[in-house]
């Protein structure tokens, strides 16, 4: 088991919630503190996550502290971000959310959970399809949190790696053998 793995009760084992999950929020900026996501953008991103999970009695507990990681070497990994970020100020009692800046060139971005289930996720850049909206304030955060909570893509099982489904018209997530949510890509990835 992953050393930081959270043991979360899941509804399909007879528990219906509510469930409360501690989160920690980090933004990536240059050494001088410039270039990172604003507090307003952080709140907006977390609102997307709350909107997606609260109907299922899943809630996130946050201390409202935004840890700004001032590290130009990480900042310069834009537009793709970097899994190296997972070693920056991690926590053992919750899920770490790392928010890279938007892509100033506007057409490339990435998101990633550190594992399924996992203890960290990051978002970076912009959605590659027009209108190239930023990834941070969108439902992508809910998608990656779903992975942290153990949800897989429907084309994936615990024994098979996820395949790249870019270009498909729908994205689905599931628990092993059970489809939990199906939404069009535009609903998941487009900012409101």
For each of the chain's 192 residues, which pLDDT tens digit applies? 344 444 444 444 566 779 999 999 999 999 999 999 999 999 999 999 999 999 989 999 999 999 999 999 999 887 677 888 999 999 999 999 999 998 877 768 889 999 999 999 999 988 888 888 899 999 999 999 999 999 887 766 554 444 333 333 333 333 333 333 333 222 332 233
DSSP 126: B
Distance of alpha carbon 47 from alpha carbon 176, whole angstroms: 27
Distance of alpha carbon 76 from alpha carbon 100, whole angstroms: 10
For residue 148, which of 49, 78, 79, 67 has the smallest C-alpha distance?
Answer: 49
Return the H-helix or E-strand segment holding 21. Answer: strand 19-29
Q: Under CATH, which architecture does the 17-189 domain have?
A: 3-Layer(aba) Sandwich (3.40)
Q: Count of residues for the chain?
A: 192
Locate 159 and state its tokens.
Answer: 């024994």
Distance of alpha carbon 96 from alpha carbon 118, whole angstroms: 10
Locate 18 and state its tokens.
Answer: 């509510």
Distance of alpha carbon 178 from alpha carbon 158, whole angstroms: 12
Cis status, amide bond into 131, omega within 30 of 0: yes
Q: Domain limits of the chain? A: 17-189
- Quote the Cα angle for 22-58-134, to 5°: 75
């Amino acid at each position: 088991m992953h050393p930081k793995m959270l043991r979360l009760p899941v509804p399909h084992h007879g528990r219906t919630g509510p469930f409360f999950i501690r989160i920690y929020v980090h933004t990536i900026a240059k050494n001088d503190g410039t270039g990172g996501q604003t507090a307003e953008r952080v709140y907006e991103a977390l609102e997307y996550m709350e909107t997606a999970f609260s109907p299922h009695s899943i809630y996130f507990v946050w201390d409202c502290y935004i840890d700004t990681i001032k590290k130009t070497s990480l900042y310069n990994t834009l537009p793709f971000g970097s899994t190296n970020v997972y070693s920056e100020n991690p926590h053992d009692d919750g899920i770490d959310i790392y928010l890279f800046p938007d892509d100033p060139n506007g057409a490339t971005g990435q998101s990633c959970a550190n594992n399924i289930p996992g203890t960290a996720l990051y978002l970076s850049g912009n959605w590659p399809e027009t209108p190239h909206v930023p990834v941070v304030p969108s439902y992508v955060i809910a998608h990656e949190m779903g992975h942290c909570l153990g949800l897989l893509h429907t084309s994936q099982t615990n024994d098979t790696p996820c395949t790249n489904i870019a270009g498909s018209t729908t994205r689905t997530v599931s628990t092993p053998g059970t489809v939990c949510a199906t939404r069009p890509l535009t609903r998941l990835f487009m900012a409101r």
